[in-house]
Amino acid sequence: MVPHAIVIGAGLAGLIAAHDLAAAGTSVTLLESTAHFGGRAQTKREGGFALNQGPHALYLAGSFRQALDRIGVPYAGEPREITRKALRGGKLHTLPFSAASLMRTSLFDMADKASFPKLMDQIRTAGTPPGSFAQWADSLRLRPNVREALSALLRLSSYAHAEQELPAAAGLAQVRLALTDTLYVNDGWQSLVDGLLEKAAAAGATIRASSPVTRLERSGEVWAVTLANGETLSAEGIILACAPDSAAQLTGQPGRYANLRSCRANTLDLALSHRPQDAHDFVLGIDKPLYASIHSATARLAPPGGVLVHFARYLAPDEAPGADAITELEALADIAVPGWREIIVRRQRLIAMPVVHALPTLAVPRPDITIPDMPGVYLAGDWVGEEGMLSDTAAASAANAARNLLSYLG
């Protein structure tokens, strides 16, 4: 008899895990509590615009890209040269991303410019230093302007404002990943969700929406899964690919993952009828945790002539969004895409939007995929395991959980 597995949660991790189990010949049921698949990778499509839930970038050297390639999910963008600016003290400067731009920028003085290439070499060769990213950065005794730029680079790479808590090794790995290459995806991340759904179904997975799970308990040699409608399913193995609070409830210990350090951001997405004359493709806050990017400049995310711009403020782990959260991002829009107010088509505002369920902090490491007291039950998600951050963590933990469950099932 073919062993049966149930995957609970159809975000990126759940979709990857369900595919991998089904492709290996296991009978799989994927249960999603809501009416829609993909979790925070869903894309809202309105008037020819594809609005992700805030800015999303695919790291081309990361685990999620590797999973897409392995599973056979296509993706594409439309890379081209863009204008890159740094914002400090309310003024724009050329962002130093190349030797030529380093020489041109007014962000640094000549001493800063002389030291910046050395910092890039130190990032590449630092290995896995102990302590926090902030401790490693401070040990370099950088010039103040260069030190600020390093913090901005970490925020950009990790989508987090948490250098005091992130391990130096994890932060450096994420910065190196971002410095390789990234891609804004045509048609939004929903295209990746749809591709994973198609591949999981083609591999034989049974996929069910609007199927919230209320209870998980051991019944002899199998696990009994009770749904909100009273239906009970059974399986030899389970992958919990849901949020940590939901996973904790299902394990019978509601506080099991309560100390994880989540990451959030305020975001504003603007769909514009056309590109303002003095718009800048990319603006990175140096002295403030701010970000602006015209994603439609390098991906098909807007109708012909239209423009889609993402703005964000990265929040510290315990930071509450201010009353002026949207006003701050609108002021950033005035700098990055002046004239936007006269040509706006639609907007999307997400305050304290969850970016990742758990950062890999020094004080609170992310949990392993295994649950010691629950044989045959594994975890997957952006909050599980040691590898990577963001969607790369989701993909890596999903593949690892599926491999371990297959081994358990024999």
Q: What is the pTM of this model?
A: 0.97
Distance CA 57, CA 66 (A): 14
- pLDDT at position 70, please? 98
- Predicted confidence band of residue 1 (pLDDT cuts 50, 70, 90): low
Q: Is 309 helix (H, G, I), strand (E, B) or coil?
A: strand
Evaluate if residue 21 carries a pLDDT over 60. yes
Residues 6+ apart with CB under 8 A from 64: 12, 58, 390, 391, 392, 394, 395
Share of the chain above pLDDT 90, in %: 97
- pLDDT at position 37, please? 98
pLDDT averaged over the chain?
Answer: 97
> Looking at residues 394-399, what average pLDDT do you find?
98
> Looking at residues 153-181, what average pLDDT do you find?
96
Residue 39 CA: distances (Å) to CA of 209, 237, 321: 12, 23, 22
Distance CA 324, CA 330 (A): 10
Evaluate if residue 248 carries a pLDDT over 60. yes
- pLDDT at position 49, please? 98
What's the pLDDT tens digit per position in 330-351? 999 999 999 999 999 999 999 9
- What class has domain 44-79+183-187+261-356? alpha beta
- Predicted confidence band of residue 156 (pLDDT cuts 50, 70, 90): very high
- pLDDT at position 147, please? 98
What's the pLDDT tens digit per position in 185-242? 999 999 999 999 999 999 999 999 999 999 999 999 999 999 999 999 999 999 999 9
Q: Of all helices (H) and strands (E), which one includes residue 397?
A: helix 391-409
Evaluate if residue 3 carries a pLDDT over 90. no
- pLDDT at position 6, please? 98
CATH number of 4-41+190-259+364-409: 3.50.50.60
Distance CA 381, CA 246 (A): 12
Evaluate if residue 2 carries a pLDDT over 90. no
Evaluate if residue 260 carries a pLDDT over 60. yes
Task: List the chain domain ranges.
Answer: 4-41+190-259+364-409, 44-79+183-187+261-356, 98-178
> Looking at residues 280-285, what average pLDDT do you find?
98
Closest CA to 16 of 382, 332, 286, 295: 382
Residue type, 63: S
**DSSP class of residue 209?**
S
